[in-house]
Amino acid sequence: MNQTIICRCEEVSLQDIQNTAITYNCSAREVKLRTRAGMGYCGGRTCRPAVDAVLEAVTGEKAGHDIPMKVQPPVRPVSLSVLRGKVR
């Protein structure tokens, strides 16, 4: 079965988003919270436009910014010396 993955970080498929919206008859924000779409390591930087477009098509609701979803920068790199415990 070929599933289109919308959010790679949380492995949320198009079908997951559609099923959640239909099953729970919920808002776009609630679908994001239930499926965790856009809440992975990238903080929605990669998938947010696709998630918003799918939710608009399914729920008819445009992405609102009245209660914004948290967007955070990707995890920053750490040197091996820090991990090893030998910081200069």
Give the model's pLDDT for residue 27: 83
Q: What is the DSSP letter of 7?
A: E
Q: Is this model's pTM higher than 0.75 or not? A: no
Cα–Cα nearest to 38, from 55, 15, 61: 55
Q: How far apart are CA 39 and CA 47, in angstroms?
A: 10
pLDDT tens-place values along the chain, 88 residues long: 558 999 999 999 999 999 998 899 888 888 889 999 988 888 888 888 888 888 888 888 877 655 455 555 556 677 777 777 765 5
Give the model's pLDDT for residue 66: 52
